[in-house]
Amino acid sequence: MKGMCYIILIVAFFIFYQQNPVYAIVIIMIFAVGFLFIRSRKGRPNSGFLGFLKGKQDYQNNHMNDLITIMMLQQLIGDSHPKEREIERNIDRDLIEEKRREIMELFDE
């Protein structure tokens, strides 16, 4: 029954659109804004007019997500392989020292 009512409304708006397209668009826009306004106010306090864009929000205080995020950040920031870091630093120092020697040799000539 609900589907039949929607079909009748769509056909009626289509016929009205053929006669007066500007008014039909204005009426559709008014219904759309009213629907979005009612939907944003219904069931979600303090969600605002555009609250329907946010989707369903979980109001539980989930500390597990915070813990996982902190652990991931620690892994990204922390040194997971200090020996490899030390080897890279030594290689960099050796390259810098080699370049310095080459430059000093060029100045001596």
Rounded to 10 deg, the angle between the 21-41 and 2-19 helix axes is 140
Q: Which two tokens stand for residue 67?
A: 């813990």
Q: In this model, does residue 6 exceed pLDDT 70?
A: yes
Q: What is the pLDDT of residue 49?
A: 52
Task: List, as one string, the DSSP characters of 35-98.
Answer: HHHHHHHSS-TT--TTGGGS-----S--HHHHHHHHHHHHHHHS-S-HHHHHHHHHHHHHHHHH
Over residues 20-40, mean pLDDT: 83
Counted residue by residue, the chain has a size of 109
Q: What is the pLDDT of residue 101?
A: 93
Q: What is the pLDDT of residue 99?
A: 92
Q: Which two tokens stand for residue 42?
A: 């219904």
